[in-house]
Structure 1
Amino acid sequence: MSRFKLSVFTVSTPELTHAQTCEAAKEAGVEGIEWRCKETPAAALSESPSFWGNNRSTLAPSATAEELTSVRESIAKNGLRSIALVPYLTCGDLEGTEALFRLAKSIGASMIRVGVPGYQPEIGHGKLFESAVRYLDKVEGMAGEFGIKALIEIHHGTILPSASAAYRLASRYSPERIGVLLDPGNMIYEGMENFRMGMEILGPYLAHVHVKNAGWEPKRLLPDGSEHPNAAKAFGAPGPDGDPLAPVEWTCGWRSIASGAVPWKQILRDLDAVGYDGWLGVEDFSNTYSSPEMLRTFVKQIRTWEDELGLKSS
């Protein structure tokens, strides 16, 4: 029996409708759906499908009873589970958070992503952390009331870019109510630390894992189109810097699961070593494949690597 359960975060299936995502997930061997939850601006509806614009697989916070029934029917028809609601909540928005707990409950989700402050140096980490504590003090009660675990995500650009930072906040609460969404792909952008160590630090707060990849590369060209004097050196050429007073700018971008800096085969080994046997949710932003092909590739990768590593459910 496979070690991990596989899901898809629908932000990564933008060209598919709710029903089509469920059908593609079933065909690929994906077992759970994490619904992207956000209102789509009217102006975006005429655009081509995209991850964060006209995403046709998004569940709106204002979804009608008819739309929710359709989603539940698509899930049931394909033998899947709605495991999570993944909105873009603002830290401190208790009214909005409670409303989306109710929405998560209505589709049978067991997890919901809640708000985390973005890091703002003009405010400072201390005050931002305090605002997160005030918010989660209330969210923990909602999680108990609705029977749905609240997830705080490790994400670059926030006060929780690493496992250590996420543990510092989550550890104030019950791991039955507040958990951490481990996202190694985000940690390539910011928050990189030894992945196995981070899993050990999180302990019982390790509640979910997102699967994607990213990588860094130096910018070869200057704004005027000429080559940076240190470009060759940045790409590994021997010899001195062309100009030691002109640092090269590096940029991070999304990669396919097998082509980025996250060593996913090792991550599976590490997850097994710490006793994690929960969900792995794909959200590939690399545009390498169509959504159905991306799902099939993801399942093939995880199941093949599980077999190669000898990872089976106990």
Structure 2
Amino acid sequence: MKLSVFTVATPDLTPAELIPVAKEAGLDGLEWRYTSTAPERRNEAPSFWGNNLCTIDPATTTDEELDALAETVRGHGLTTAALTPYLTAGDVEGTERAMRHAARLGAKAIRVGVPRYDRTADYNELFAKAVAYLESVETLSEKYGVKGLVETHHMTITASASLAHRLVGRFSPEHVGVLYDPGNLIHEGYENYRMGLELLGPHLAHVHVKNAGWFPGETAGAPWTCRWVAMDRGIVDWKQVLADLKSVGYDGWFGVEDFSGTHDTKTMLATYATWFRSLAEQA
């Protein structure tokens, strides 16, 4: 079992600070958040999607800095499992830059863009756009040796395993895969875990670990809302997910991205490693 952390969930630590903490917690790898922080947010308190200190900036990070980071990661006996940008479907230039940087770090995968679905554009048009983009992703993957991963994510055209499979099924699993996120499926896209995993087959490439739950509105008739909760407290039955992953022979990364705020960063990482390895033994 290979455990990692997506650094969106560790906003208060710099990369240099996180590496020894992750090692001490018992993790095996790191998934670096890869995006630019808006100048007006850099003086804010650290946050997941705002002033996240554990972020690689594609616009300013040099090759020398990437090489130094890769050396530090290796020196602590860890692996860069993935580089995780926030790409837009169709951004081939940004995708190539991310793959080049990922290869420099020794990462074997990046997250690629998927069209958002919000009822303002027809699904079929968005799907065609995504297919055209993934054709370029596949070519870039062949060039850099870095796989492009489509994430199962609410409010996109790949909200479920089956929708993700419909998109990636025409591409080689050596170059295009799926980042399976059961926590996201609680928001939208839930399917029987094992059925979805069996459908994905060789395209299953990575798993993210978090949890969520649904809560009623404060007044009668108010809509329910979905919110992030502690990893072991939400709707996702992780013991069942692990058993289903085991049934399909999955042996890849499990990357935590706990957004619940239940623990401070160091405690969250240590709790994750202990809890998840114990759960895997029971599955």
Same topology, TM > 0.5: yes
Match of 2:50 among 37, 50, 53: 53
**TM-score, normalisation: structure 1:** 0.88
Distance in 2, matches of 1:126 and 1:94, equals: 21
For the residues of structure 2 that align with 1:98 and 1:257, how far apart are their CA atoms? 33
1:37 to 34, 39, 52: 34
| Equivalent-residue separation in structure 1 for 2:150 and 2:100 (angstroms) | 18
- Listed as ranges, the matches of 1:1-314 within 5 Å are 4-62=1-59, 63-220=61-218, 228=219, 230=220, 247-309=221-283
Determine if contact 2:239/2:282 at 8 Å carries over to the other structure. Answer: no
Bigger Cα displacement from structure 2, 133-142 vs 59-68: 59-68
Aligned-residue Cα RMSD (Å) equals 1.0
CA offsets per residue over residues 197-225 of structure 1, 9 Å max, x none?
Answer: 111111111100000000001012xxxxx
Q: CA deviation at 1:11?
A: 0.3
Give, in whole Å, the separation in 2 of the partners of 1:213 and 1:205. 23
Distance 2:137 2:281 in 1: 39
Structure 2 residue identity aligned to 1:57: C
CA distance in 2, matches of 1:158, 1:11: 19
Give the Å deviation of 1:100.
1.2
| Local SS of the residue matching 2:153 | coil
Bigger Rg, structure 1 or 2? 1
Partners in 2 of 1:133 and 1:65 — Cα distance?
31
3-state SS, counterpart of residue 33 of structure 1:
strand
| SS of corresponding position for 2:263 | coil
Code of the residue aligned with 2:100 in structure 1: it is R
State the percentage of identical aligned residues. Answer: 52
1:219 and 1:249 in contact (8 A); partners too: yes
Which whole-Å CA distance do the structure 1 matches of 2:281 and 2:167 have between them?
36
After the TM superposition, which parts of structure 1 deviate over 4 Å for at least 4 consecutive aligned residues? none
Q: In the alignment, is the contact (CA less than 8 A) between 1:18 and 1:74 conserved in 2? A: no
Unaligned runs of 5+ in 1: 221-227, 231-246, 310-314
Q: SS where residue 46 of structure 1 aligns? A: coil
Classify the secondary structure of the residue corresponding to 1:91.
coil
The residue number in structure 2 matching 1:239 is none
Deviation (angstroms), 1:308: 2.6
Q: For 2:155, what is the secondary structure of its paired residue?
A: coil
Which amino acid counterpart does residue 215 of structure 2 have in structure 1? E
Deviations for 1:227-260, whole angstroms, at most 9, x for unmatched residues? Answer: x2x4xxxxxxxxxxxxxxxx34100000010111
TM-score scaled by structure 2?
0.97
C-alpha deviation, 1:70, in angstroms: 3.2
